[in-house]
């Protein structure tokens, strides 16, 4: 069985639509790669409930606790990433004032101070380098998020859209189109990825 991770898709609604909080993976391997953004996530420890792991990993990777939920977290199911890792995620509506909590890098992103990892770098050199697991975060509109996240995680965004459309229908707003509810028109540019 491959590695299993759990993560949290934190989202907020604003005048432009729905935005998700994405984390840019840290270290030189991801510095200039496309699709180097991810939901905050990490490995489920032995005996740990996956949802508990998602909350713990969010705090460890970003250096601050997840926002208080505006409603109960909703499961978004699992995806298998290209390397074989299975990721399970939950949607949480909440507001994180990342600008107030964190600093900014020279590219205009919001830097984070969370967990670090030691990696072999450069590859096959016998040397190691300590790097942040996540080096910055950004609130991203859904269209931009689909282009930025690790490919398999697009499914979580699609499931979030479906979840919110179902909620809108249940709340008597079925006449509203999902795109009007969920997608910023037009999306603001992302905080200079890479």
- pLDDT tens for each residue of 34-45: 899 999 999 999
Give the integer Cα–Cα distance in Å for 2 and 43. 11
| CATH number of the domain to which 127 belongs | 3.90.79.10
pLDDT at 113: 58
Listed in sequence order, the residues at least 6 apart from 36 whose beta carbon sits closer than 8 Å to its beta carbon are 24, 25, 30, 148, 193, 194
Mean pLDDT of 175-190: 42
Domain contains 192: no
Domain contains 185: no
- Is the bond leading into 41 cis (omega within 30 degrees of zero)? no
Of 161 and 190, more confident: 161
Of 125 and 115, more confident: 125
Domain contains 109: yes
Mean pLDDT of the chain: 82
- Alpha helices in the chain, H assignment, sequence order: 50-62, 98-101, 142-148, 154-170, 178-182
Domain contains 150: yes
Domain contains 31: yes
Residue 57 φ/ψ, nearest 5 degrees: -65, -35
Give the integer Cα–Cα distance in Å for 98 and 63. 11
For the chain, percent of residues with pLDDT exceeding 90: 49
Q: Is 131 helix (H, G, I), strand (E, B) or coil?
A: strand
Domain contains 193: no
Listed in sequence order, the residues at least 6 apart from 150 whose beta carbon sits closer than 8 Å to its beta carbon are 35, 37, 38, 81, 82
Task: Say how many domains are in the chain.
Answer: 1
Domain contains 186: no
Domain contains 104: yes
pLDDT at 138: 87
**Residue ranges making up the domain that contains 14:** 4-180
What tokens does 168 get? Answer: 């809108």
Given a cut of 80, is residue 120 above it in pLDDT? Answer: yes
How many residues comprise the chain?
194
Of 162 and 172, more confident: 162
- What would the pLDDT profile of 139-149 be if each residue is shown by its tens digit? 899 999 999 99
Listed in sequence order, the residues at least 6 apart from 89 whose beta carbon sits closer than 8 Å to its beta carbon are 6, 7, 8, 9, 39, 41, 54, 75, 76, 77, 78, 79, 153, 156
pLDDT at 130: 81
Given a cut of 90, is residue 9 above it in pLDDT? Answer: yes
pLDDT band, residue 30 (cuts 50/70/90): low
pLDDT band, residue 128 (cuts 50/70/90): confident
């Amino acid at each position: 069985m491959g590695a299993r991770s759990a993560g949290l898709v934190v989202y907020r609604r604003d005048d432009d639509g729905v935005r998700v909080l994405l984390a840019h993976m840290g270290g030189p391997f991801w510095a200039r790669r496309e699709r180097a953004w991810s939901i905050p996530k990490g490995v489920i420890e032995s005996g740990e409930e996956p949802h508990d792991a998602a909350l713990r990993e969010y705090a460890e990777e970003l250096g601050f606790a997840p926002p208080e939920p505006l409603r109960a977290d909703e499961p978004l199911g699992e995806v298998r990433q290209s390397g074989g890792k299975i990721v399970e995620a939950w949607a949480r509506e909440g507001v994180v004032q990342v600008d107030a909590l964190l600093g900014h890098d020279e590219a205009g992103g919001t830097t984070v101070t969370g967990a670090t990892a030691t990696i072999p770098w450069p590859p096959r050199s016998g040397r190691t380098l300590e790097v942040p697991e996540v080096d910055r975060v950004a609130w991203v509109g859904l269209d931009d998020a689909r282009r930025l996240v690790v490919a398999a995680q697009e499914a979580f965004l699609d499931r979030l859209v479906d979840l919110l459309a179902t909620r809108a229908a249940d709340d008597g707003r079925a006449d509203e189109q999902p795109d009007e509810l969920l997608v910023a028109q037009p999306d603001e540019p992302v905080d200079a990825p890479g």
